[in-house]
A and B are shown apart, each in its own frame.
Chain A
């Protein structure tokens, strides 16, 4: 079946540095790519998404890049803060009638 992979299970960066979390997907027809954040002991919440009609989307310190040729998308966090520490999940789906396929999560650790 179709897959979404997050190759880094853990990523550690110094506070104030940038962090990049990468995902790859297998379904060429994927067109919707959301990111969710799960803080310790809490449930998931949405952070940002991108659709395949654009290759970049920014919201404050977060930027998502999409490379459809490479079937890769990434979440960039600038000026990291302690509250960015969490597990980040990427996901992909074909369109509004298809279920999301989820990655396994990347744990982001922000070191002081």
Chain B
């Protein structure tokens, strides 16, 4: 199975800050990476697919980049409603595997 190493595991930032989360795959996954947002007691919501494509309706302050083994997720200006846990997931190979998550808090 492909291992996804996500960092940091938690992050505290202020409203308006630029926030970056990284995800590293244990082998080449080309562009096949998702980023999900999960708020407490809610289902995950897909934000970005194919590493950099914004899902319809997702605010443009969210972005993703990378290919191969190294990927980055960025919130350009943190908003209070962005408080959540974020997960990366590869879907190049079965089984699809997730990173361990990054819990984002407001400072």
A pairs with B: no
Residues of A within 8 A of B (CB): none
Residues of B within 8 A of A (CB): none
